[in-house]
Structure 1
Amino acid sequence: MFTKRLAIVFHLSETICMDSHRTERFASPFLPIYAALGLAIGVLWGERLHANGIFVCNGARLQPDPLWLLLPLPFLLLLAWWGRNRRRVLIPALLLLLALVGAWRYTTRPFEPCFGPDDLATYNSDNPYGRPSVLEGVIVGYPDQRSNYNQYRVRVDTRWEGAHKRSVEGVALVRGDKETLYEYGDRIRIRGVAATPPTFPDFDYRRFLVRKGIHTLIKRADITFLASDQGHPFWAALYSVRARASAILDQLMSQPYAALANGMILGIESGIPRELYDDFNLTGTSHVIVISGSNIAIVSGILLGLFLRLFGRRKRIAVLVTIGGIILYALLVGADAAVTRAALMGILFVIAVGLGRQSTAIISLFVAAIIMFLLNPLTVWDVGFQLSFMATLGLILFSQPLQRAWDARIGKRIPKIANNLLAEALLVTVAAQITTMPLVVFYFGRLSLISFLANLLIIPVQPPIMIAGGLAIFAGFVFSPLAKLIALVPYASLWWTVFVVEKMAAVPWGSLEVSAFGRLLAALYYLLFGLGFMWWLLRQEQGETALMPA
């Protein structure tokens, strides 16, 4: 059944323990939700304080010291502990406490940090055609091969000033020529204009890179190789496996299917043709290209099932090895915000299995958000994270109510096999789009009228791409003929996906550009959704057990 499969993938438990006074130490079982909301509000507040000049740079330090924001924390902690059995005391205290923590955390990693003389970004040029710099550093990321250039993330440690060199620190995004490909761990000398990343009218590229810890962009760099094997052996081995796996997919499939498989399985999207990528965007199906929660859920389920069988009664060992596998896969595919969120949820689910406890998806979702906001407060502005978070929240909140409505009106009137196949594709699509389509409209100014149908047609064939594609990669390491045979399954699924997307993208008026008024409506939608979510949360606090009112 659809509901059973969805429960496995998203760890959904409709009944959340509501008898908090008997079974919970605290007054509310939803404290992670309030904590995540308070933290996000605090991060946004911290950004406003910083932007409005409340905190200003004095050399490499902020003035006044942001630690003053944490001054009320001891009082709020005592208040929260005193009111742990009183919701009206505990929840406001927790919200305020986490808001202060969020504001402080933002000041430690803002969009506009204070740079000192040892920071690379201090020497950025505002003119991309200004005076070239000579820098040295080590490539610290997986090489990004584009159609016209290769792109590297370089940890710079040296800046040459004539015949003298200065020690600096910072990460630069460096674009070199297409002919020469450098690898992770290579030490290189870079000659080019070190510039502050630009901001475009419809896209803030500078903030996009800052979220990744990059403050310097060097285009058209002249690169000289200096030495190899300067990186960490773990990352060198991991990127070597990734490169080999990518090469196997390129051998097993023709283009553009191999490029799509690289994106869907390994997180390498740079080889996907621009025209095809645009078609996925027009049809509202670009989410299938990127690594997302469904990929991590499949990996988690396969690894947990395999290791539970392998280790038998030693469940804790199976859980630890599974968690290690999830972390390795997340790191292998790039560990962006959406992947990290999904990996954290997968880990929480596996831990719950190991402890013999029930995992509640909505709590896991907000706990993952808390961890990510603390690790990198700029995640709040990450569109990929927002889409991933809202899609998962939509599945949690709406999948079972939609399933009940479907069963009552349609499901009982059609054959069971047809019901299972149709319900899975249809209800997953509807549940996710309830919470994500307005977000797409708000950020990208485009409304896809064919998104629903396109997703309905391609979602059922996505799991075979991940599962059989992964098996084909493993087989490719040891026995190529077997890999070619297995690869027929993901190849067929990819062919169907591309066929549907290209045909749908060609439909006249299938995708409409939305005006500023449309974006305003999308923002209003989320305001109403937020109010509705808080109303639902209050119902749960009052003892209602259904995820949505009957």
Structure 2
Amino acid sequence: MSKSKIFLILSLSFIVGIFARSFFEIDLFSIYVLSILSVISLSLFYQNKIILISGSAVLFFVFGIWLTGNKLAELNSSDLDGKNYSGQAVIIKEPASKDSAQQIVAKIKDENEAEKILLRAGRYPEYSYGDRLEIGCKFQIPENFSEDFDYRMYLAKDGIRYVCNNPKIKIVGKDGASAAYAALLKVRKKFENNINQLIPFPQSGLLSGLLLGGSAGLPKEVQDNFSRTGMTHIVAVSGYNVTIIANYLMLFGIFLGLWRKRAFWAAIFGIFLFVAIIGFPASAVRAGVMGSLLLWAMKNGRLANSQNAIFFSGAIMLLINPLLLRWDIGFQLSFLATLGIVYLFPHFENMLNKKSGIYWIGEILFLSLSAQIFVYPIILYNFHNLSLVSLLANVLVLPIIPITMALGFFMALFKFIFPPLASVLAWLTFLPLKYEVEIINILASFQFSAVEIKNFPWWGVLLWYFLLAVGIRSLRKV
């Protein structure tokens, strides 16, 4: 057995261990027994390669179980629930404003406590990253408001165990920020302001989503239309989305006359710039890693053999935070979309004529199709929505997304440098944005555009991936 296969087996064993403990209760006695048997087997039969690999895989599996169980045990020791707290805290993330409220993630500055909490405050006064606060509130364990969504674990995956509703807040300082991170957030805010000044609503919301991630800037009706047409991914920060952006940055560099190697590094810099502008959120960093690995594989013609790098990067992310696997849908979609491109796109690519002038359109289409085939069961299970016009929407919209992003980026940039040129670019940027929004709205207006599938079963998800695995294995034999 090759070293690469052994590496893949060990990475998968660790991930499967985290999966097992995330969904099932596993007692400590079983973990100890498995560990002891594996160590004994490795000690007695270490010269037998099969036993050596099997025993090591079991240990990696057990480690995944233990790591996840330990993290869950920390979360369940909610000894501060119901406690009235009065003291200082620092805002560690830019507050999110929605309707008449602000959601503020803060860290307690106390010798006896070191908790990350979510403050739910009124819309005004507005607070900012780095503000030092004097707060008074009651710690509460987050409540789940729906059977379909585990809000408590959604917060817990980010280390937030408690919420404080309607806290008393007083700003006592502005010196709690990291200067570098504060500067990035300032740049992001100015970029967003430039977009809103130059592009009318709701097109400005779409451009903000494309460049900065997220659909919060879009009206609720348009957000629903994106969901009905299966186009939410274009404003989501995912490994797939970053790969599309980076691939076209690379092609654009080659078009400008750069050598392929230089174009690759220009695209990698583009990924870094994209992640930096939106403030290095964890989801964007993960997407950047996935996108960079895929770009590297595509550059070297090794896409079909890059699964080791993808699984290893996933294992490292789960080593840092094992709760991502079950309770972070963004991680699931990003990881699975990346795997979809790795396992399916090479087969679709063989169907394309690379000498054709419209090869790039087929490439975008099949990149999207590869990713969506892998993420659809997760979407059905969590969001209960199956888009029947997704493929058509992707064909009509995706090819001009890179152009839209390039025009929008330079428009916002030149607003700082030479505003008259930014105004000209605004007209050029508005046209594709208008087209994209209208196409999505038109397709979403059809009654047959989406079907609601309630209670998509967990075994349906497993069956989908089992059939996918069988299909991919059959394709590789052809």
Return the TM-score normalized by structure 2. 0.84
Deviation at 1:236, TM superposition (A): 1.5
Choose which of 73, 77, 81 in structure 2 pairs with 1:124.
81
Deviation at 1:102, TM superposition (A): 1.1
What pairs with 1:31-110 in structure 2 (closer than 5 Å)? 31-47=6-22, 51=25, 54=27, 82=47, 86=49, 88-89=50-51, 91-110=53-72
Q: Secondary structure at the match of 1:197?
A: coil
Maintained 8 Å contact 1:111/1:210 = no
> AA paired with 1:263?
G
Maintained 8 Å contact 2:41/2:51 = no
- The CA distance in 2 between the partners of 1:81 and 1:227, in whole Å, is 60
Partner of 2:232: 286
Identity %: 27
Q: Secondary structure at the match of 1:428?
A: helix
Q: Secondary structure at the match of 1:249?
A: helix
Deviation at 1:380, TM superposition (A): 0.9
Maintained 8 Å contact 1:249/1:473 = yes
C-alpha spacing 1:133/1:269, structure 2 compared with 1 (3 Å): farther
Q: Secondary structure at the match of 2:323?
A: helix
What pairs with 1:344-493 in structure 2 (closer than 5 Å)? 344-348=289-293, 360-381=305-326, 382-405=328-351, 416-417=356-357, 419-420=358-359, 422-493=361-432
Choose which of 130, 146, 151 in structure 1 pairs with 2:98.
146
> AA paired with 2:381?
F
- The CA distance in 1 between the partners of 2:100 and 2:21, in whole Å, is 39
C-alpha spacing 1:293/1:73, structure 2 compared with 1 (3 Å): same
- The CA distance in 1 between the partners of 2:45 and 2:284, in whole Å, is 33
Moved more, 280-289 or 362-371: 362-371
> AA paired with 1:35?
L
The count of residues paired between Structure 1 and Structure 2 equals 471
Deviation at 1:328, TM superposition (A): 6.0
Query: Within the alignment, does 1:188 sit opposite 2:133 as a pair?
Result: yes
Deviation at 1:184, TM superposition (A): 0.9
Deviation at 1:510, TM superposition (A): 2.1
- The CA distance in 1 between the partners of 2:436 and 2:151, in whole Å, is 30
What pairs with 1:146-545 in structure 2 (closer than 5 Å)? 146-158=98-110, 167-199=112-144, 200-297=146-243, 298-299=245-246, 302=249, 326-327=271-272, 329-333=274-278, 335=280, 338-348=283-293, 360-381=305-326, 382-405=328-351, 416-417=356-357, 419-420=358-359, 422-516=361-455, 520-530=459-469, 535=473
> AA paired with 2:217?
G
C-alpha spacing 1:483/1:428, structure 2 compared with 1 (3 Å): same
Kindly provide the CA deviation profile for residues 428-476 of structure 1, in whole angstroms up to 9, marking residues without a partner as x: 3332222222221122222222222222221112212332222223222
Deviation at 1:95, TM superposition (A): 2.7
Deviation at 1:106, TM superposition (A): 1.3
Maintained 8 Å contact 2:203/2:434 = yes
Maintained 8 Å contact 1:142/1:184 = yes
- The CA distance in 1 between the partners of 2:275 and 2:90, in whole Å, is 23
> AA paired with 1:397?
Y
- The CA distance in 1 between the partners of 2:298 and 2:385, in whole Å, is 41
Structure 2 unaligned blocks of 5 or more = none
Moved more, 94-103 or 104-113: 104-113
- The CA distance in 2 between the partners of 1:232 and 1:291, in whole Å, is 24
- The CA distance in 2 between the partners of 1:68 and 1:90, in whole Å, is 18
Q: Secondary structure at the match of 2:175?
A: coil
Q: Secondary structure at the match of 1:176?
A: strand
Maintained 8 Å contact 1:265/1:291 = no
Q: Secondary structure at the match of 1:508?
A: coil
Maintained 8 Å contact 2:238/2:284 = yes
- The CA distance in 2 between the partners of 1:440 and 1:353, in whole Å, is 27
Query: Within the alignment, does 1:548 sit opposite 2:476 as a pair?
Result: yes
RMSD across aligned positions (CA) = 3.9
Q: Secondary structure at the match of 2:412?
A: helix
Kindly provide the CA deviation profile for residues 476-526 of structure 1, in whole angstroms up to 9, marking residues without a partner as x: 232222223334444323222211221122111322221336664344212
- The CA distance in 2 between the partners of 1:529 and 1:135, in whole Å, is 54
Return the TM-score normalized by structure 1. 0.74
- The CA distance in 2 between the partners of 1:285 and 1:353, in whole Å, is 24
Maintained 8 Å contact 2:233/2:241 = no
Q: Secondary structure at the match of 1:452?
A: helix
Q: Secondary structure at the match of 2:148?
A: coil
> AA paired with 1:109?
K
Deviation at 1:273, TM superposition (A): 1.9
Moved more, 326-335 or 140-149: 326-335
Q: Secondary structure at the match of 1:169?
A: coil
Kindly provide the CA deviation profile for residues 261-316 of structure 1, in whole angstroms up to 9, marking residues without a partner as x: 2222112543322222122112211111112235534358759998xx9x99x99x
> AA paired with 2:460?
L
Q: Secondary structure at the match of 1:215?
A: strand
- The CA distance in 2 between the partners of 1:426 and 1:304, in whole Å, is 16
- The CA distance in 1 between the partners of 2:132 and 2:418, in whole Å, is 35
> AA paired with 1:186?
D
Deviation at 1:421, TM superposition (A): 5.4
Maintained 8 Å contact 2:246/2:267 = no
C-alpha spacing 1:498/1:518, structure 2 compared with 1 (3 Å): farther
> AA paired with 1:465?
T
Maintained 8 Å contact 1:35/1:370 = no
Moved more, 514-523 or 386-395: 514-523
Deviation at 1:396, TM superposition (A): 2.2
- The CA distance in 1 between the partners of 2:44 and 2:409, in whole Å, is 51
- The CA distance in 2 between the partners of 1:261 and 1:35, in whole Å, is 42
- The CA distance in 2 between the partners of 1:48 and 1:224, in whole Å, is 42
Deviation at 1:185, TM superposition (A): 0.7
Choose which of 88, 105, 108 in structure 2 pairs with 1:136.
88
Maintained 8 Å contact 1:80/1:94 = no
Maintained 8 Å contact 1:393/1:435 = yes
Deviation at 1:80, TM superposition (A): 10
- The CA distance in 2 between the partners of 1:449 and 1:304, in whole Å, is 31
Maintained 8 Å contact 2:246/2:268 = no
Q: Secondary structure at the match of 2:460?
A: helix
> AA paired with 2:310?
L
C-alpha spacing 1:367/1:186, structure 2 compared with 1 (3 Å): same
C-alpha spacing 1:75/1:336, structure 2 compared with 1 (3 Å): farther
C-alpha spacing 1:475/1:437, structure 2 compared with 1 (3 Å): same
- The CA distance in 1 between the partners of 2:198 and 2:239, in whole Å, is 26
Structure 1 unaligned blocks of 5 or more = 1-25, 56-63, 116-120, 126-130, 159-165, 537-546
- The CA distance in 2 between the partners of 1:512 and 1:357, in whole Å, is 38
C-alpha spacing 1:114/1:394, structure 2 compared with 1 (3 Å): closer
C-alpha spacing 1:229/1:517, structure 2 compared with 1 (3 Å): closer
- The CA distance in 1 between the partners of 2:251 and 2:183, in whole Å, is 24
